[in-house]
Structure 1
Amino acid sequence: MAKAHFIESRYQHAEAILNQLILKNQKDPNIFHMLGTIYYDKGKFNKAIRSFKRALEIDPAFTDASVGLSIILNDLGKYEEGKKVFDEAKTMLNSKGDGDPYVEEKLAIKHDELGELYFQYKRYSEAMEQFYKALTLSARKPELTMKLVECRIKKEEYTEATKLLKDLLRQYPDYLAGRLKLGMLYYDSQQVPEAIEQWESVLEKDPNNVTAKDYLKLAHAVEVTSHSDVLSESPSMEL
């Protein structure tokens, strides 16, 4: 019952039931994880920290609780402490199944979540470190590469961002989101013909792609304007 209320975000009802379970000396880490999440949502950070720590005392490899605790610590500016909590949980989980694809994907998800957290706080180098770690463990290469591209763009490392996308598209030529982004990088660097090539390639595979159509209209308008400027600057022929 508590979990159903929790999933539906009926936190007041869930909190009451969860506290009753604790009074009955229930030692399920999920109880404390849900309570920690509820307290975090209410801004009761100290109670949330205690709840997540209690969940980890019961199950040190409970990565959902470790990520929750990491998020709070990062919110409070305790970045190194938050990273330490996550790394300890990762080590525990990794020891359960070295080379197990399920475990590796679960680890990748946690690196991904931590990377998102660093990105949110504009700590792009740390975010990239986490996304690269996730990339070595996960089969979600296109999705994670796009996150690395966004980090590179935020750091104004456009050449590196372009290289990441070109490498990705060599392996996944039909990944349209990557082509759209590569086209935009070309466009922003005033390489309009290269941008048009990418967006036209998207339309070949998906003729109804609205984003590609909008980008192409913009690019063609720029081309027409540039051509008109060249003509207006050309010397007129005297008879």
Structure 2
Amino acid sequence: MKKLIFTLALAAFTTVAFAQKKVARSAERNFKKGNLEEAIQEAEEALQHPDTQGESSVLLTKAKAQTRMFDMEEDITASTVSLGRDAFQNFEKVMEMEGGDKSSKVGKDVYKDDVPELPENLRPWNKNTLKMSAFNKAIIAYEEDDFEMSYEMFSLVSDIDPTDTTANFNAGFLANDLGKFDEAKKHFNRLLEIEDYNKLNTYYFLVQIASGEEQDPELAYEYVMKAREDYPEDKTLAEFEIQLLLQMNKMDEALASVQEALKSDPDNPGLLLRYGYLLEQSGDLDGAYAQYKKSVEADEEFFEGNFYAGAILLEQARKIIAEINELSDDEWEEKAPEMSEKADGLYSDAIPYFTRASELREGEASAEALELLFQIHTRLKNTEEAEKYNQRLISIYGPDWMER
């Protein structure tokens, strides 16, 4: 009797196991016929049963069916992304079940080359198919100005193949543009790990994210110094280095860096401006003015150079005025006229710089230069010129602009 019961139990177990094998085979047949939802449903059923849940080929069938459904999707939405992500994760699980062996039968199937021109029944519908399909959808979404979905698709491509430089850069670029800075850093940092890839623009983005969005000049400086090891002649990196040293109040290092940079690029307006600023901070106003003046000579339309040159002349003039106000009565008659004339000369010298600066900006962006021109002409009793700038300021802020 016991033997009979055991035999019946064994028969039942064998029947159930056979049934699950049959479900798994049916899933594969439905996939080949294009009955994708049925294939996925049957694969999921087989994956729930102890006898077939460990079979990588069953999960592969599900991943293939998901990939084919993903490829067929015409609307690019969050659900499309989710479907592609699920397929990718299932391919990853398949390879885990295979112990990462790409030379196994299943492993070869996962990584077999795909040729889109082949008939559908001859395509492998594997990771390579998923990658190509996601890339195409990324391009379509971008052309339709759907940058969010374009990012998601490029991100999927780069996760499928972390060495794909085009996908990683595009994903990083779009993520940065969308304000997804952590995601942007992920993709850009991947690019730094790829040999023989031109990483210069990648470094630019990482520096800007660290210094601008994250307000972390130390991290930005680390990126700059790492980049300069690979691109020692790049002028933009040299400017970044100086700018970051200034942010970190490392004036001596910044001064040494800007002097070194100017040896190879003596007419760089940005470098000359920073050199002038460093000299100004050290108290050398004459030296600072000389560098600001050089920056304008190098580029007459350099707003900052014009503004800083004018501003330092004003600073010198105001110092003289302050000194005049400290004179004793006896000193006043002897020194004040000459000192006032010198101050007025500095005010006059500042006019061309602020005039040019005001012409290089429009609206409120020009207002500070316009106000300074109004004040200078008022002091110098250039009534008509002062009124001209008064009217321009009224056009920007209204008649009560002085009360702002």
**TM-score range for the pair, normalised by the shorter chain length:** 0.5 to 0.7
From the superposition, tell whether residues 174 and 89 of structure 1 become closer, same or farther in structure 2 (CA, over 3 Å). closer
Unaligned runs of 5+ in 1: 1-14, 98-102
From the superposition, tell whether residues 33 and 61 of structure 1 become closer, same or farther in structure 2 (CA, over 3 Å). farther
> How many residues end up aligned between the 2 structures?
208
Q: Identify the residue that residue 134 of structure 1 maps to in structure 2.
A: 227
From the superposition, tell whether residues 162 and 54 of structure 1 become closer, same or farther in structure 2 (CA, over 3 Å). same
How many Å apart are 1:192 and its aligned residue?
Answer: 1.5
Listed as ranges, the matches of 1:141-156 within 5 Å are 141-156=234-249
- TM-score w.r.t. the length of structure 1 is 0.65
Matched letter for residue 165 of structure 2: T
Q: Identify the residue that residue 110 of structure 1 maps to in structure 2.
A: 202
Q: Identify the residue that residue 160 of structure 1 maps to in structure 2.
A: 253
- TM-score w.r.t. the length of structure 2 is 0.42
Unaligned runs of 5+ in 2: 1-72, 85-119, 121-128, 334-404
Matched letter for residue 291 of structure 2: Q
Over the aligned positions, Cα root-mean-square deviation in angstroms equals 4.2
Q: Distance in 1 between matches of 2:231 and 2:138?
A: 25
Listed as ranges, the matches of 1:61-210 within 5 Å are 61-67=163-169, 82-83=185-186, 86-91=188-193, 93-94=194-195, 97=196, 103=197, 106-119=198-211, 120-138=213-231, 141-206=234-299, 209-210=302-303
How many Å apart are 1:196 and its aligned residue?
Answer: 0.4
How many Å apart are 1:226 and its aligned residue?
Answer: 0.9
**Identity score, percent:** 15
From the superposition, tell whether residues 112 and 36 of structure 1 become closer, same or farther in structure 2 (CA, over 3 Å). farther
Matched letter for residue 201 of structure 1: K
Which one scores higher on RCO, CA 8 angstroms, separation ≥ 6?
1
- Structure having the higher Rg: 2
Q: Identify the residue that residue 53 of structure 1 maps to in structure 2.
A: 156
C-alpha contact (below 8 Å) 1:179/1:198 kept by paired residues:
yes
Residue 237 of structure 1 aligns to a residue in which SS?
Answer: helix
Matched letter for residue 55 of structure 1: S
Q: Distance in 2 between matches of 1:87 and 1:207?
A: 39
How many Å apart are 1:143 and its aligned residue?
Answer: 1.0
Q: Identify the residue that residue 225 of structure 1 maps to in structure 2.
A: 318
From the superposition, tell whether residues 172 and 48 of structure 1 become closer, same or farther in structure 2 (CA, over 3 Å). closer
Q: Cα deviation per residue 1:190-214 (whole Å; 9 max; x = unaligned)?
A: 4321210102223444456554333
How many Å apart are 1:178 and its aligned residue?
Answer: 0.9
Q: Identify the residue that residue 214 of structure 1 maps to in structure 2.
A: 307
How many Å apart are 1:153 and its aligned residue?
Answer: 2.7
Matched letter for residue 208 of structure 2: E
